[in-house]
Chain A
Amino acid sequence: MSATRRRIVDRIARALTLACTAAVLAPLVLIIGYLLAKGITSINVDFFTQLPKPVGETGGGMANAIVGTLVLIALACALGLPIGIGAGVFLAEYGHSRLAPPVRFCADVLNGVPSIVIGIFAYTLMVLPWKSFSAYAGGFALAIIMLPIVARTTEEMLRLVPASLREASLALGVPAWRTTLRVIIRTARGGIITGAMLAIARVAGETAPLLFTAFGNQYWHHGLGGPISSLPVQIYTYAISPFDDWHRQAWAGALVLLMLIGLTSLSVRVLTRGRFRTVR
């Protein structure tokens, strides 16, 4: 009797969790499906190679925005990854220092700061003094968003490295700094890269902090000191426009952005794959 009951409860529980899983996956499938349906028709060679056409002319592409997004991500990584990873190493290796809890708390608070606020911060700090929107300001804003994500995931991943490996290295007469660099970080490499990829995926789609830092540009950018276009801002501009052609391009832009993020994280994973399985 109770065995039958257990079996029924098991069935129900399994069905419920399955339903929840489906509910989690449904939006993703719908988004990708919708983007594909709406955007694929506008994706052609021109989309990747042409500049946007003036209002009224059909065709054209988002080549400048695609390049702009890549430039902004590169700038954000150049600033955000080393500092974020460095802070994560500090938190993991010197976590017992009195400075660690406040640093950890600040990182968590920073993680919760709305991205538009970070945009305003970058605006006041970089756009106002230089009297120009710039790729630097956009990259700076994105880097700030990346910092807490990279720092905290790096810390978590380093903490997963068994203490016995550190001891093994120290007991061989390896100095502590080399142990951290060559044993601890190397063992956690996969996890640290995952964290960096999460951060990149997060900022690649950020629009708000770019609106008044990188601003946007209908043409190729002239150096990193001037305004630069980006896919999210371009999608935003096109999506709120009254033109059907621009709407179609916005869908295509969104699809390209999604593919870009997917491709980046895939290729980084393949390229940096260690010879042996590491933590995560």
Chain B
Amino acid sequence: MTTAARTKVEARRLDAWFGATQALHSVDLAIAEHAATAIIGPSGCGKSTLIRCLNRMHEIVPGTRVTGEVLLDGEDVYGPGVDPVAVRARVGMVFQRPNPFPTMSIYDNVAAGLILTGARRSRADLDAIVERSLKQAALWDEVKDQLDASGVSISGGQQQRLCIARALAVEPEVILMDEPCSALDPIATAKIEALIHELKARYTLVIVTHSMQQAARVSDYTVFMYLGELVEFGPTEQLFTTPQKKETEDYITGRFG
């Protein structure tokens, strides 16, 4: 258990809407740096919406709205003059279903964030970044001989690690993972979970998961969400052993959800 870490991301009175439907109700949450924070809760409770608000991905869906503050290192990402593109470069994201770019090779997928943002880099630099990112994502040994193969030619679990490598290549500070294992088999899931343990030393991780076991296995802190509200938040061990709220206890003991 990590002790009293610095706060990296902080949501303050965060509300989010889809059209007239309010998906988040005044969420306050402080996410510790260099730790893994899991968000659990039943389907439709706002887990995904919450993390999508953290890197301003919520607003790309037409008709959506966010109010409140999200402080990244103390600075509001919804503040005036803040470029969402710059926020997303600092707060990376891994999605529920592996989504490598099908028109790109494995190499180009990893380098995509660097190539597509128009940053000029030498081939040698790119090579080094691609290798480093794939190694960090524990994929290098499996694909190092087929970097020119299509990004969708590898297995689902490998594709998801490729997506993690792609997110790592742009050197974000925070990585949001939206149910990263829900489309994967247990072996691929175990690999991703091992990876989460490695990555949290260098990055701040936020992981949405449907699996309470997974939350218990990988996270230092756990957030329980229900009906768009943050019900309980605390160190993972404490939340699972001595939940403070009745809803939390009901959920983790399997009485609903």
Question: Which of A's residues lie within 8 Å of B, judged by CB?
Answer: 96, 162, 164-175, 178-179, 182-183, 186-187, 189, 274-278
Whether B89 is near chain A, meaning CB under 8 Å from some CB there, is yes
| A277 B102 Cβ-Cβ under 8 A | yes
Contacts of B159-201 to chain A: CB distance below 8 A: 163, 166-167, 170
The residue in chain B whose Cβ has the minimal distance to the Cβ of A190 is B103
| B117 A174 Cβ-Cβ under 8 A | yes
Question: Which of B's residues lie within 8 Å of A, judged by CB?
Answer: 55, 57, 60, 62-63, 85-90, 92-93, 95, 97, 99-105, 112-113, 116-118, 150-152, 163, 166-167, 170
Interface centre among A166, A167, A186 (most CB of B within 10 A): A167
| A172 B101 Cβ-Cβ under 8 A | no
Question: Once A and B bind, how many residue pairs between them come within 8 Å at the CB atom?
Answer: 87
**Cα distance A178–B152 in the bound complex, in angstroms:** 21
| B150 A172 Cβ-Cβ under 8 A | no
The residue in chain B whose Cβ has the minimal distance to the Cβ of A173 is B89
| A278 B116 Cβ-Cβ under 8 A | no
CB-CB nearest 4 A-B residue pairs: A173-B89, A172-B113, A171-B93, A164-B99
Note all chain B residues with C-beta closer than 8 A to A173.
85-90, 113, 117, 170
| B102 A168 Cβ-Cβ under 8 A | no
Give the residue of A96, A162, A169, A187 whose beta carbon is less than 8 angstroms from that of B116. A169
A170-B57, A172-B112, A183-B116 known; A275 and B95 CB under 8 Å? no
Note all chain B residues with C-beta closer than 8 A to A96.
62-63
| A172 B88 Cβ-Cβ under 8 A | yes
| A189 B103 Cβ-Cβ under 8 A | yes
**Cα distance A274–B103 in the bound complex, in angstroms:** 8
Note all chain B residues with C-beta closer than 8 A to A170.
57, 60, 88
**Cα distance A182–B63 in the bound complex, in angstroms:** 25
Note all chain B residues with C-beta closer than 8 A to A171.
55, 57, 88, 92-93, 95, 167
